[in-house]
Amino acid sequence: MQTPYYLIDKSQLLKNMEKIAWLREASGAKSLLALKCFATWSVFDFMAQYMDGSTSSSLYEVRLGAEKFGGETHAYSVAYGDHEIDEVLTHSDKIIFNSIGQLHRFDAQSQGHTRGLRVNPGVSTSSFDLADPARRFSRLGEHDPDQIAAVADKISGLMFHNNCENDDFERFDEMLTLIEDRFGAIIGRMEWISLGGGIHFTGEGYPLERLAARLKSFAESHGIQVYLEPGEAAITGAATLEVTVLDTLHNGKDLAIVDASIEAHMLDLLIYREPAKISPDTGDHQWMICGKSCLAGDIFGEFRFDAPIKPGDRISFQDAAGYTMVKKNWFNGVKMPGIAIRELDGTLRKVREFDYADFSAALS
Ligand SMILES: *Cc1c(COP(=O)(O)O)cnc(C)c1O
């Protein structure tokens, strides 16, 4: 199979799916896949056996969720345009408005639809200001309990999304308590509460039982249905980016250039200044693995290998499922990685190939 391509491994995906299904069984909390993290719909049929549906951040995502994932389809967006709202309602069974302004603006059109409001609790676990929903002056959700209470009879649910790759149950628990202290009276008037994504509960060693117990008591004490919106947690460890070495150079360090680019294919590494991961990353030879775009800092990272790297070698970058395929772009006209799936029985199936026609069609 010609590189570059993303390789989704269903047996890895299955491990996450089984934890999600277990959590639902044990806690009653439903899980909806956050499509902004992962929207590779070829595996939606598989994931839909373990999850309750999908949630979205735009008209196109909500439509994709309704058409390809099925189950419950939540609509959310930071802001909807007048021309979008009817189609959003058509494709969703719940709509969560980001602001009281949007709730009022689309009040008449959304009468009869299950409606919710995003609440910004003012606390989060993000260590990056760029990705911190509780940052100062945040536009993400309403924060004033009195103003929210004043529109509570128009809605039946609230959405809080303030976790970010949070693998610390204590911290999650602590923040949920803060939410209950501040918004408990309004939560008590609701039928459902979404706690958003960012809880890293499929990670190795996460205390799933404690999370289940906490979610269950949260639901029971307020008389609500709890939803989770896992993105990263649903697909963590489930894909690799498969590349081939094209050239090597030496400039103070051993450098290898591969047929992909972090700027175009694993953009979050660049944004959050993190290196890619390879496994095992051991051996006597250290090489800097670089992307083939002309951006000077297009570097996957420095890794260890058993032997010197040479053109034609294959490298596999780990953890390439989340916030990768949804963000890939045509910068430099670098060939966009195809998408392949490793089935549970080990067979490999290429589900998408991109070529010059796709590049050309992306602009006019
Ligand atoms: C980004 C986002 C998610 C998914 O977050 P992950 O960190 O990928 O789990 C869920 N809900 C909302 C509202 C989001 O913005």
pLDDT digits (tens, 9 = 90+) for 117-157: 999 999 999 888 999 999 999 999 999 999 999 999 999 99
* Average model confidence (pLDDT) across the chain: 97
pLDDT value, residue 127: 83
Atom of ligand 1 nearest to the CA of 133: 15
Structure confidence by residue, pLDDT tens digits, 64-76: 999 999 999 999 9
- Predicted confidence band of residue 223 (pLDDT cuts 50, 70, 90): very high
- Tell me which of 37, 142, 228 to substitute to probe ligand 1's pocket, judged by most ligand atoms within 8 Å of the beta carbon: 37
Query: Is residue 166 over pLDDT 90?
Result: yes
**Phi, psi (rounded to 5 degrees) for 346:** 95, -15
243 C-alpha to ligand 1 centroid (Å): 28
Report the chain's C-alpha Rg in angstroms.
22
Whether the model pTM is above 0.95: yes
Please give the helix or strand (H or E) that residue 18 lies within, else none: helix 10-27
pLDDT mean over 33-47: 98
Cα distance between residue 221 and residue 65, in whole Å? 31
Task: Sort strands 157-159 and 114-118 into parallel, antiparallel or unpaired.
Answer: parallel
Residues with CB under 6 A from ligand 1: 34, 36-37, 76, 161, 164, 196-198, 229-233
The percent of residues in the chain predicted with pLDDT above 70, rounded, is 100
**Distances from the Cα of 282 to the Cαs of 117, 211, 238, 275, 289, in angstroms?**
49, 35, 22, 15, 15
Cα 295 to chain center, whole Å? Answer: 26
Nearest-CA residue for atom 7 of ligand 1: 198
- Count of alpha carbons within 13 Å of 217, Cβ hemisphere only? 9
Query: Is the pLDDT confidence value at 111 over 90?
Result: yes
- Residue pair 241/19 in contact (Cβ under 8 Å)? The answer is no
Ligand 1: residue of 20, 32, 33, 36 to mutate (most ligand atoms within 8 A of CB) is 36
Query: What letter would DSSP give residue 68?
Result: I
- What local confidence, expressed as pLDDT, does residue 126 receive? 86
Ligand 1 atom with least separation from CA of 322: 8
Angle at which helices 208-222 and 169-187 pack, to 10 degrees? Answer: 10
- Chain segment 278-335, per-residue pLDDT in tens: 999 999 999 999 999 999 999 999 999 999 999 999 999 999 999 999 999 999 999 9
pLDDT higher than threshold 90 for residue 81: yes
The predicted pLDDT at position 168 comes to 97
Locate the ligand 1 atom nearest the alpha carbon of residue 196 and give its number. Answer: 11
